[in-house]
C-alpha cells in the first residue's frame, strides 16, 4: 500500500478537527482467488483485488464511519472531511505520534496464493469430484470450490497505534446431489484454515468428496425426523454451532451494550451446568478464526466466556468497551473496509468435559443423534436460535439407529444452556463463516459431543 505514515497522520489529524475524541484509519489490500468445478469441468475462475480505506470517528459513545477506495491523499482527506462533516464534537484531542506495534506472529505462512499454480488447485478439485462420484453411482452432480484470500490490513489511530497484519485464508468446499427413487438429496463437506497455499497439499480430498457424497446418499434413504421435543446428542466439531448461536452472539457487546441481549445482566451468574466451560480464542495458531491483532489493531486474546457454568466475560470491541466499561478482548472484527468493526466471535468452543459419546447415547431411550450440522441463526435479543441438521439418526434404547432428515433444532439460549447435561472428551474445531452486523468473518466453531436433555426437533408431524 502506498499510503505513507505521514499521510495517515494527516488524515487522522483532519478527522479530529471536527471535535471527535478518537479517529481510526483502516487500510486494506486483499487478493482473492476462487476456482469452481461443476459438471466435471472448471465452471468459474475468478480473482481480483479489494483495495480501500475505512475511517471511523468517535464522539463519546457515538460513531461515524466512512469508506472509500480512493487511496490518494486527496481521496482520503475528502473521506475524512465527509465523516467530520457529519457531526461536531467538543473534544480538543490531538493525534499522538504513530508508533508501530511490533509483535511476533504465531501464524506461519509458507507460500503466497500466486506462488501455487492454478493447475494444481484444479487437480485438487478434480480429486474431490472423482471421490464423490466414485462413492456412489447415485451421485449426479458435484460442485467443488477452492478459495484463497491474502489480506493485508494496516490500522492507525489517534492514540498513536500503528499496527499491521497479513492474513491468509484457504478453504475447499464440496457439495453433492444424489438421486434415486424419484428423490434428490444434498450433501456438503468442507475444510479450511488460516494458512497459505501449501495447506492445500495437506488435505485429504478423497475423504472430502466421500463425506459430502455420503451425506446426500444417506439422506436419500432417510425418513423425515419427527416433530417433537426429545433428548439430543450433538456430535463434536461443527456441532459447536449450537453454542455459537445459542450463546455466543448474545455475548457480543453489539447487543449487550444496549441491554437488549438476554445475557446483558448475567455476568457472574450461573447460566449453565458445571460441565460447561466455553472459550472464544483468537490466539490458536493457524486456525480459521485466529488473528494476531483484531481489526481495531488490538492484540487478540483467549477469552473464557463461561467457566463451569458461570458467565465470566463478554466479547468486547472498542466501542463496546466505551459503552459498557468492560475491557476489550481483541474481538473487533469486520469482513472488509466496507464495514465498521463490531464485537465478533473468533474460535469459539465448548471445552472438553469428562463424558464419552457412548455414555451419552446409552442413557437415552428415545432421542436424536445430531451427527452433522449446517448453518444457523439467532436473535440475541429474544435468545431464539436455530440450526439445521445435515445428518441425524434416531437413538432408540441406547443405540444409534435409523437415519432421519429434514429437521432444524431450535431453542432459546438460556433455556438450552441449562439443559446441556453432559460434555464429552472429544473436542474438535471446524472452520466456518459467521455473518452479522460487520459482515462475513472467518470463525471456528467446536465442541466435544454434548447431551442436551430436551430440544425441539423440527421434523414432520
Partner 1 sequence: MSLSTEQSIEKVLDLASQKKVSAEALVIETKKFNASFQDQALNDYEVTSSRSLGIRVVDGSHEGISYTESFSTEDIESTFLEAQANKNFVTSDCDPSFPEAKSIVNNMDFFNPQLSEVPVDLKLEFAKNLETYAKASSDKFHSLPWSAYADIEAKVLLCNTSGTQSSYQTNSCHAYAYPLCVNGDKRGMAFAAESSRNFYDLSAERIAKKSIADSVLKLEDTKPKSGKYSIVLQSKSAQTLLSLLVSHLSLKSIDQNLSALKNKLNEQLFSEKFHLIDDATYAEGMAARPFDAEGTKSSKNTLIEDGILKSYLTSFGYANKYNLKNTGNATRSTKSGINISSTNLLVRPGKLTFNELVDLDSEVLVVDNLKGLSGVNPISGDFSIESEGLLYRQGQFHCAVSNFTLSGNIFETLKNIEELGNDVEPTIKNIYSPSMFVGKMSVAGA
What sections of 93-192 are H helices per DSSP?
118-135
Which residue, 55 or 357, is less far from partner 1 as judged by CB?
55
Residues near partner 1 (CB under 8 A), total:
82
Q: Which stretches within 225-317 are classed as H helix?
A: 241-246, 253-256
Q: Rule CB under 8 A: say whether 453 interacts with partner 1.
A: no
Asked whether position 144 contacts partner 1 by CB under 8 A, the answer is: no
Say which residue the cell 487511496 belongs to.
71
Which set of grid coordinates corresponds to residue 49?
483485488
CA distance 271 to 292: 30
Residue pair 199/161 in contact by the 8 Å Cβ criterion: no
Residue 383 binds to partner 1 (criterion: CB under 8 A): yes
Q: Which residues pair with 135 in a beta bridge?
A: none
**405 touches partner 1 (CB under 8 A):** yes
Which range touches partner 1 (CB under 8 A), out of 7-15, 165-173, 180-188, 421-429?
Answer: 180-188
Q: Which is nearer to partner 1, 288 or 337 (CB)?
A: 337
Q: What is the dihedral of CA 74, 77, 79, 85, to 10 degrees?
A: -130
Cβ proximity to partner 1, 362 vs 377, nearer residue: 377
Q: Which is nearer to partner 1, 185 or 191 (CB)?
A: 185
Angle between helices 118-135 and 205-220 (to 10 degrees): 40
Assign 351 to helix, strand or coil.
coil
Footprint (CB under 8 A) of partner 1, residues 220-279 = 224, 226-229, 255, 258-260, 262
Separation of alpha carbons 128 and 379, rounded Å: 36
Residue 314 DSSP SS3: coil
- Is residue 440 within the footprint of partner 1 (CB under 8 A)? no
Q: Which of 135, 133, 159, 150 is nearest to 21 (CA)?
A: 159
Q: Nearest approach, Cβ of 155 to partner 1 (angstroms)?
A: 18
Distance CA 158, CA 100 (A): 13
Give the footprint of partner 1 on residues 327-366 (CB under 8 A). Answer: 338, 340
Cβ at position 16, least distance to partner 1 in Å: 17
Q: Report the residue number, 79 or 275, with the smaller CB distance to partner 1.
A: 79
Residues in contact with partner 1, shown as a per-residue x/- string from 100 to 119 under the rule CB under 8 A: ------------------xx
CB of 284 to partner 1, least distance (A): 26
Looking at residues 39 to 78 of the shown chain, list those that interact with partner 1 (rule: CB under 8 A). Answer: 39, 41-52, 59, 61-72
Amino acid at each position: 500500500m502506498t499510503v505513507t505514515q505521514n499521510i495517515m497522520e494527516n488524515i487522522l489529524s483532519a478527522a479530529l478537527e471536527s471535535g471527535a475524541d478518537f479517529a481510526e484509519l483502516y487500510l486494506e489490500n486483499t487478493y482473492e482467488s476462487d476456482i469452481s468445478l461443476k459438471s466435471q469441468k472448471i465452471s468459474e475462475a475468478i480473482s481480483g483485488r479489494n483495495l480501500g480505506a475505512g475511517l471511523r470517528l468517535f464522539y463519546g459513545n457515538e460513531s461515524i464511519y466512512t469508506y472509500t477506495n480512493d487511496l490518494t491523499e486527496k481521496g482520503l482527506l475528502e473521506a475524512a472531511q465527509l465523516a467530520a462533516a457529519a457531526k461536531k464534537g467538543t473534544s480538543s484531542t490531538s493525534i499522538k505520534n504513530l508508533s508501530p506495534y511490533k509483535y511476533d506472529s504465531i501464524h506461519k505462512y509458507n507460500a503466497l496464493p500466486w506462488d501455487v499454480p492454478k493447475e494444481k488447485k484444479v487437480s485438487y478439485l478434480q480429486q474431490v469430484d472423482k471421490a464423490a462420484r466414485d462413492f456412489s453411482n447415485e451421485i449426479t452432480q458435484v460442485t467443488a470450490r477452492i478459495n484463497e484470500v491474502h489480506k493485508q490490513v494496516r490500522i492507525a489511530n489517534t492514540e498513536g497505534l500503528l499496527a499491521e497484519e497479513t492474513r491468509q485464508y484457504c478453504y475447499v468446499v464440496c457439495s453433492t446431489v444424489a438421486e434415486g427413487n424419484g428423490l434428490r438429496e444434498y450433501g456438503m463437506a468442507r475444510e479450511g484454515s488460516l494458512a497459505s497455499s501449501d495447506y492445500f497439499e495437506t488435505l485429504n480430498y478423497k475423504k472430502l468428496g466421500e463425506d459430502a457424497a455420503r451425506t446426500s446418499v444417506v439422506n436419500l434413504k432417510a425418513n423425515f425426523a419427527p416433530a417433537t421435543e426429545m433428548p439430543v446428542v450433538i456430535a463434536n466439531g461443527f456441532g459447536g454451532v449450537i453454542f455459537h448461536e445459542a450463546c455466543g452472539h448474545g455475548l457480543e457487546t453489539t447487543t449487550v451494550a444496549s441491554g437488549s441481549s438476554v445475557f446483558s445482566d448475567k455476568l457472574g451468574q450461573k447460566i449453565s451446568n458445571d460441565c460447561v466451560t466455553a472459550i472464544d480464542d483468537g490466539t490458536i495458531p493457524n486456525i480459521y478464526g485466529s488473528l494476531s491483532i483484531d481489526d481495531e489493531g488490538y492484540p487478540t486474546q483467549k477469552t473464557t466466556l463461561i467457566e463451569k457454568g458461570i458467565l465470566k466475560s463478554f466479547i468486547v470491541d472498542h466501542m463496546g468497551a466505551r459503552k459498557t466499561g468492560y475491557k476489550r478482548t481483541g474481538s473487533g472484527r469486520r469482513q472488509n473496509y466496507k464495514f465498521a468493526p463490531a464485537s465478533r466471535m473468533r474460535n469459539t468452543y465448548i471445552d472438553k468435559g469428562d463424558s464419552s459419546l457412548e455414555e451419552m447415547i446409552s442413557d437415552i431411550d428415545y432421542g436424536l443423534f445430531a451427527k452433522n450440522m449446517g448453518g444457523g441463526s439467532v436473535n440475541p435479543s429474544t435468545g431464539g436460535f436455530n440450526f439445521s441438521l445435515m445428518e441425524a439418526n434416531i437413538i432408540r434404547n441406547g443405540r444409534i439407529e435409523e437415519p432421519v432428515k429434514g429437521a432444524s433444532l431450535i431453542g432459546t439460549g438460556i433455556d438450552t444452556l441449562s439443559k446441556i447435561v453432559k460434555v464429552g472428551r472429544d473436542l474438535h474445531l471446524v472452520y466456518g463463516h459467521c455473518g452479522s452486523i460487520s459482515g462475513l468473518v472467518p470463525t471456528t466453531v467446536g465442541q466435544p459431543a454434548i447431551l442436551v436433555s430436551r430440544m425441539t426437533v423440527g421434523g414432520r408431524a
